[in-house]
Structure formats: structure tokens, C-alpha cells
Amino acid sequence: MKRWIVLGSALTALLLALFSWALYFLFWTPGGVHWLLGKVPQYSPLKIQVDKVTGRIAGDLEMEGLQVWWAGGRLNIQRLQTSLQPQHLLRGKILFEKILVKKISLEEKQVKPEPLDLTLPRVTGFLSRLDLEIRSLLLEEIRYRIND
């Protein structure tokens, strides 16, 4: 019986250590950003390319030359800077101190042009329980174009 308790405790400690390492890798290393960007196309119809990434998700992050493609269009962002405060995640809040976006170009392919819909996509699962707060949002040089 003691043997099973020791084995169970060791296994639990190992799983906790792996989970902690995975969280650290994802949120506190530049490699985590690259890994997540590489996973997005596997789970969505988006294709993403970034010329340069510095920083980390938990804290200050900067991306240059961000390009996103999908069947209905393309988004180019020259520079994206974010400052996420990860300690608020424990209280159920995603808090960005700032988001700065420079030179945004959005092109959509529409047969019948319709007004631009800026509705955020509906989130399901765990993320739907989190609140989102952005304290400072700066968008510079926005261009929107509809291609026939």
C-alpha cells in the first residue's frame, strides 16, 4: 500500500512539473510565441507569417511584419506591441496594459460589398469564462479595402 502512495505521489509531482514547464515555455519564452503561431494554422483556416518576434506573451511582446491570410482576405500589420499582465489570469481576467498596432492593412474579397463587421468572434470553452480588459489601445494608419 505504501508503495502505491509513493508511486502515486511521484507521478503527480512529475505531471505537475511537466505542466509547470509547459506554462513557463508558452507564456515566458519567445519560443512559446513561435510554437503557438505555428499551431494556429493546424486548428483554423488561417495562415500566419511573422518576420520578427521579440519578447514573450506574459509581459511585453513585439511582432514585426505580421501577415495573416484566410479564404476571404488578408491582414498585414507592420508592428504589433502588447503588454499582458499574466497575474490577472488567476482572477479570471485577461488584462492588456497596452496594445499598439502600426500600419494595418485589411483586404477582403467580397462578391457583394458589405459594411465592415468589427464584431469579435464568439469564444467557447474555458476562454469564454475570462473577462478581457485593454487599458490602452492605439491603432495607427489603418487601411481597409474590398477586392471584387
User: CA 64, CA 78: separation in Å to the nearest integer?
Assistant: 5
What pTM does this model have? 0.77
Q: What is the pLDDT of residue 1?
A: 76
How far is Cα 45 from Cα 139, in angstroms, rounded to an integer? 25
CB 55 within 8 A of CB 86: no
Confidence of residue 74 (pLDDT cuts 50, 70, 90): very high
Q: What is the DSSP string of 27-91?
A: HHSHHHHHHHHHHHHHHSS-EEEEEEEEE-SSSEEEEEEEEEEETTEEEEEEEEEEEE-GGGGGG
Q: Which one-letter amino acid corresponds to residue 13?
A: A
Per residue in 28-70, pLDDT (tens digit) is 888 888 898 888 888 888 899 999 999 999 989 999 999 999 8
Mean pLDDT of the chain: 88
148 versus 107: which is more confidently predicted? 107
Higher pLDDT, 113 or 124: 124
Contact (Cβ atoms closer than 8 angstroms) between residue 138 and residue 98 = yes
For residue 83, what pLDDT band results from cuts at 50, 70 and 90? very high
